[in-house]
Structures are given as structure tokens and as C-alpha cells.
Chain A
Amino acid sequence: MKKIKDFINKADIRRFRFWLQLFFFILFIYGGYFSINLGNSIPVFSCGYDKEVGGMCYFLPLQHQLARPLDVLFSVASISVLIGFVTFLVWFIVFNKAWCGYACPLGTMQDWLTGLRKKLGIRYSTYTQPQFDKLKKIKYILLAIVILAPMAVGMGLLGGEWRTAFCSICPGRMITPLFVGDVSQWSLDFSTKSAMILTTLGLVFTGLFVVGSFIKKRFFCFFCPMSAMHYIFSDAALLKLKKDGDKCTKCGDCYTVCDMQIKDIADDVKSTNILRDDCILCMKCVAACPEDDVLHVDFINYPIFKSTKGGFAKRMQMDELEKKDD
């Protein structure tokens, strides 16, 4: 048992993550070809506009379901809404935000763009802290759009094109179908003025998505309303990111590698549950923490991956001297 634990704690999580991400990418994007269907309450952006989707992003059905007149929405007729939501919760609660770090196709695409940038030898950029503090709020505004726009349609306040307002501007809608050779989403909808504005915004956001995540790690995730939605329920999750602040030296190693620039991960020595709203539970911080047992990922209070001195040294290739060949 100790050996297995040791092995896991010293594991090269980058490789593990790469393969897992690839697996989920294929599962979600191409699942249809293998007649896989994990339902349509998946808590990440595995886009429903992809015809072969192996499990659909919860936002698409959610928006459709919310676009009903209020009296219908809150009647027994909407039991399916509740079921959809409960399924979403169940999925989410098991893996928490690790959905983002390991399974979300849109997240994976961003990581691949990062990989491409690295191959080209270009350095990443970051947000400054004040920028960061402002930008991170956008996701809550977007979440409000996800929920309120369809409800307004249901109440007759907005036109039908607002039913899936968020999807219209979501980069997932345009990019994901490309992977199954479908370019039909790449057009502007001129039917109404607001449809035109929304689809134009969609195009702009898609462009931003690609350029942004090329230069900035996980650029889009800062704004992602799904991430905001996750955070509301993350306290109840079974998988947790935990910290033992007494042992933390505040060295900032975790913060340095965090794609989401979460400062609390290093500086907060009081909270034991250290998951923040932007976190994608990628566990890079755990892997980069050089102190024993400070950061750990727990499943129902059982630590499955812990920070260790030895693991750190191994991953940073500091556990042995490099053989000099010149």
C-alpha cells in the first residue's frame, strides 16, 4: 500500500493528465461514432452543437428548459428540469472541478494551444493582479446570462433568438463541431438584429478564445460561467483540494505554476478547503509543492494525491545530477 502511495505521489502528473484529457476529448467529441451517450447534463463544455457528442454540455438543455413561462417552469411538468439538474449535480459532485482540469474538451483545447506555443518557444503572458480581480467577475455575469436570458424569453420579454443567448456567444459552439468536420456554425445569423449581434459576438469570442489561450494559459476559463456554476456547489463535492496551512512556508511554488493565477493557494494558510472559484483542479499546485503533506487532493477525506519533498524533486528533475554529456 505504501508503495502504491509512494508511486502516485511521485507520479509525473503531466503525462497522466495529457492522456486522460485526450481520452475524455475523444469520448466527448467523437463519442457519437461509438454510440456512447453520457446524457446531456455534463458539467463541462462538451458542446451540444457537435453532432457526435458523447455527452452534452449541461448549458444547452438548461437554457432550453428555462425558456418556459414561469408557471410551467415551476409546475410538475418541469420535473425533467429537476432531473437534468440533479444529474448535473451528481456528475459534478463526484469529481468537483477536476472536470475542468481533466475532462472539459474546451479546456483541453486551450492546453493544446499552450502546448503549441511552448513548442514554438514563445513565452506566456499573465494578467496583473488588478486586471485579474476585475476579469474574474465576468464569469458571474455570463452565468447570469445563461440563466436569465432564457427565462426572459419564457416570460416573453425577449425574442426567441435569446433562448440560447450564451451558446450563441460561446466559443464551444463554433470550435467544437470543427473536430467532426462541421463548419455550419461558422456563419452570421442575419434573421434579426439581436441574432446578428449575438452571432457576431460569438465570432469575436471565438477569435479571442484562440488567440487568448495561445498567449495566456487557460485564457477562457477565467470567464467561464460553468466554472462559476461549479463553485456554487463545490463545497458539497467528494473530491477536494485541501491544504494544511501550518506546514506551508508560503514559498509560492504552487502559485508560480498555477494556470489560473490563484494567489490564495500559496498565501492562505487558514482555509483547509483551498479550492477557489477559478480553480480547475488540475493538481499542478500539488505536484509543485515542495513540502510534505501541505497540499493534497482528497476523495471523501481520503488523500489520493499529496505533495511530497521527494515527488517535487523528481518532477523538477532535481533528485539526481544530470549526466553531463559535453
Chain B
Amino acid sequence: MTKEMREHKIETPKEKQNRHKAMEAKTVLQKIKHEFKEPPKAMDYFYNLYESVHCRHEPLHNDKIKVGTMCIQVPAEIVYALDAVPIRLCNGFYTDDEIGSDFLPSKACPLVKATVGQFASDNFSDKPDIVISPTTCDQKAKSGAIIEEMGYKLFDMEFPRTKESEESREYWRRSVRKFTKELSTDLGKKITRKKLKEAIKKVGYAQHLYHKLNVLRKNIATPILGVDMFLVTNAFFFDKIDNWIEAVDALVQECEQRVEDEFSAAHKRSPRIVYTGSPPIFPNLKVPLLIELSDAIIVADETCSSNRMFNDMVSVDEWFVNDMIDSVADRYLKGCTCPIFTKNEDRKRRIIDLVKDYKADGVVYQAFAGCQVYEMEQRSVLDAMEKEGIPIIYLESDYSPSHMGQLTTRIEAFVESLKNRRRKR
């Protein structure tokens, strides 16, 4: 038999799914790599990582217990302290979105559909041993049960939907303590003071590096594109933390050099954008790509797949296990600007602050069609920006490759208006 003939054997559904996913991933990576100015050398690590994980579907954590997480509120520090790795399962693949459509209402959020879709197809390069589902938005909370029914081990982590009160803080702290206890029993590992402290410091260091990189974007000659930043932050979902740290360390140094050389990843006149709304998750970097292909540059973001994942830090007063766990709990509740909370003054203040701090010209607010919470908050954010005189555009999108034309036109028009506005000033 020749090689060709063997390749003609019938593709299994899994192989087909993987082929489609690899195609999605490749298309996006190609665009990011080749349609802009030269990316920093240190980005190669990330391009290769995505190629390995999302195109070739190679596992990264064979030797470790994998704890799948459905939202950012699952404390990574605690998972690491228990010798496991957290893997965020929020999914950006259209292929999986289509599979998931069979399990959820047609108007459901594509992110949730894609996540459920991946579970339905049971096709993971790093399959989670246990799934933690914080009760954030309705769709996520309810899809937890659907996933559990498919036969996965799942832990519902109770998350309050108000955050201002002391009661909710106490409730969440208890929830985190319970989670720690159950996960520790489940994995047969004891949480020790030393391990937890190490984990807090390591995650803290990763955050510290992110901040170092992020503040470089304040420079008028912004050294790195928003799409590249999304790749960097998205990689934290699944990468080995030590490797990630090393890679970002190199990236920071390179970008610092770029700042010194006044090298800009975009053009001098490119309008500066703050990105907010439903999280862009690889390979669904559609809107960020459209923005930057329209000669604007994303200089900051307020999304849970990027900035929000790193922004708030753990502060500990006394390094005892209980105090550390409580401090970790606070990190994931108090500063969180997730739209599932009743009020969201903090999110508005945050966006305004980012616009000022990063000298942005406008805000792009993107919501997934079906992501109720972001859709519902849109109005109030738009009002708040208007009051501050900050231009903002609201876009609705999904994972499908169609309808690109309309999105492109709107984004280009918005970028053009920002340019005009600048010229007038």
C-alpha cells in the first residue's frame, strides 16, 4: 500500500473535528503572524504553543492532574498548591460551537455552546480530571449540569451575584474553603502552608510580569499589538505556568527595548482602542483582528480572557493557610468586574480609567449574540462613556465566519471617525 492510499481511509468524527479546529486556528495564526509589522521575536514561543496545542492537538500536562475551570473565579493558586494544573475550558472554536448547538437553546452564547460542544465530543488534548463550575452567569451555571450529565466529574462552586456586601464576601470565602477542602480530599493531597505560599507567589509573579508588559502599552509607540497580547493572556488558560513565565519574561525585555527604540507595533496615527465585553478566546479573535487590520491598535482591555484574569492581586497579611485562602478568595470576588453582578459601577469606572491611563481614543464594546449579561450592560456603559465624552461602538458578534462584511464596515467607520476626531484636536 502506498502512503496516499492509507491517507484516504475514512476520517473519524474526532479527526474531522480536529482538522476543522486546526484550520480555524491556523487561519488566525497566519493572519496575526503575517498581516502586521514584524511581531516581537519572543512571540514565536506563543505561536508555536498554539500550533502544538490547537493545530496538532498535543497534550501538555500528561503527568499532572488537570482541573478544568469554567470561569476565572476558580482560584488557580489553590489548584497549583494541590499539585494540579488549572485549565480554563472557555472555548473559542466555531467547530465546537456547532456541536454544542444541539445541547443548548439556539439563542445561547457561543462561548458556552463551544464549551459544551467540546465536552460532548469528548475531544481534549488535555482532558480535565475534574471540572469546576462557578455559578456565574445563568448559561454557565446551567451548562455545568449538562456537562455533569455527560458523565464528567463536576463541582459547582457557589459564587455570589452581588459583591459589595460583607455577607457575600463571607459566603464566597466559605465557598472557597469548601472548594479547597473537597478538591484536596478528591486529589488526596493536603494543602500546606509552604505549597500555598509558593503557589500564591508564583501566580503573583506571573501577574507581575503581565503588568510589566501591559504598562508598556501606555507608550504612544505601543510595542505590541492587542491580538498578540490576547494570545499571551489566552495561553495562560492552558500553558505550563513556568514556561509561560519564562516566555513572558523574554517578551517583556524585548518590548522594553522596543519602547526605548520608539518602535511602534502599529502606526503613529493609529487610533488607540480599549476593548471590552465578551471575552475573545482563541481562535475567536475576530473582532480584535478586524480592529487592528483597520489600522487601529488595542492598547488595553477589560475582558475576562485577558486583563481581568491578571489584574487583581492577592495580598496576604499573615501567611497562614487559612488567611491565605481567605485572601485568595477576596482576590476573585472583590475586584471582579464580571457583568453577572447586580451592579457594575466598577466596570464602568475601570473602563474610564483605562481610557485615561492608556490615552485611548475610543472603546470597542463587543458582546456575543446570546451573552445576556454583556448585552444587558451595554446601555449603561454606553451612557457612562457618553457622559465622559469617550467615543464607543457596540458590536454584536458570534463565532460564525459569516457576517464579516458588516462588522468590517462598522469597525472601519468607527476607526475612521476616531482619526477624524484626532485631526480636529
Contacts and interface: CB of A to CB of B under 8 A. Distances in A.
A316 B204 contact: yes
B315 A123 contact: no
A301 interface: no
B317 A257 contact: yes
A124 B318 contact: yes
A318 B208 contact: yes
Interface residues on B, range: 35 or more
A313 B204 contact: yes
Interface in A88-104: none
Nearest to B336: A251
State the main secondary structure of chain B at its contact with A: helix
Contact of B201 (A246, A255, A309, A317): A317
Interface string A224-259: 000000000000000000000011011111111100
A321 interface: yes
Contacts of B331: 251, 253
A309 B215 CA distance: 10
Interface residues of A, number: 34
Nearest to B245: A321
Interface in B299-339: 311-318, 320, 322-323, 326-327, 330-331, 333-335, 337
B124 interface: no
Contacts of A269: 349
B352 interface: yes
A308 to B, nearest CB: 11
Contacts of A288: 315, 317
A290 B334 CA distance: 13
Interface in A249-289: 249-257, 263, 266-267, 269, 284, 288
A322 B203 CA distance: 12
B208 A123 contact: no
A129 interface: yes
B141 to A, nearest CB: 24
Contacts of A255: 330, 334
A318 B349 contact: no
**Which of A129, A252, A263, A284 has the most chain B CB within a 10 Å cutoff?**
A252
B315 A312 contact: yes
A53 B105 CA distance: 77
Interface in A72-129: 118, 121, 123-124, 128-129
B346 A252 contact: no
B164 A267 contact: yes
25 contacts: A246-B352, A246-B353, A249-B335, A249-B346, A249-B350, A250-B334, A251-B312, A251-B330, A251-B334, A252-B334, A252-B335, A253-B313, A253-B330, A253-B331, A256-B326, A256-B327, A263-B166, A267-B164, A290-B313, A309-B208, A312-B315, A313-B313, A316-B315, A318-B207, A320-B205
Nearest first, the 10 A-B pairs at minimum CB distance are A251-B335, A318-B204, A252-B334, A253-B315, A129-B166, A257-B317, A251-B312, A290-B313, A288-B315, A249-B335
